[in-house]
Amino acid sequence: MMKSRNEHQGCIMVSACLLGINCRYDGKNAYNKQVASMIDSVRIVFACPEQLGGLTTPRSKNRIVGDRVVNEKGVDVTGNFYRGAREFINIAKKFGVRKFLLKNKSPSCGKQGILSKILPKNIEVEYKR
């Protein structure tokens, strides 16, 4: 029998790679044991903004250059990153998410990433390795 979730803690939106989903640019994940252990006690919604933006897995490594996102082949993928960030936020809104757990040092989810630039001010954010 499945444990009941603590509805009073709300719902948390998580970068999918932190839960062991192989969605990073290199086809791997960034599994975080602390985040994964929350599954039994908190309602979790997860997604990968880069995939939501239409990028494949695996994909070329991306980096932020000024106000653009460029892959290692020199292709501008800024539109994909903003599209994915908007979709990530839309999913969070549908589930009433008030807290995000995001992958640090990611061009989409990191502190300097695209998602962080457009997050609503009322959302609590915690960055994980």
Helix (H, G, I), strand (E, B) or coil at 51: helix
The span from the CA of 53 to the CA of 99, in Å, is 21
Check if the beta carbon of residue 20 is closer than 8 Å to that of residue 36: yes
State phi, psi for 37 to the nearest 5 degrees: -70, -15
Q: Which residues contact 82 (CB under 8 A, 6 or more apart)?
A: 53, 114, 118
The pair of three-digit structure tokens given for residue 24, joined into one six-digit string? 């990073």
pTM, two decimals, is 0.90
* pLDDT tens figures, 77-129: 999 999 999 999 999 999 999 999 999 999 999 999 999 999 988 899 999 99
User: pLDDT value at position 30?
Assistant: 98
Q: Is the pLDDT of residue 4 over 90?
A: no
* pLDDT tens figures, 40-90: 999 999 999 999 999 999 999 999 999 999 999 999 999 999 999 999 999
* pLDDT tens figures, 14-51: 999 999 999 999 999 999 999 999 999 999 999 999 99
The span from the CA of 32 to the CA of 92, in Å, is 20
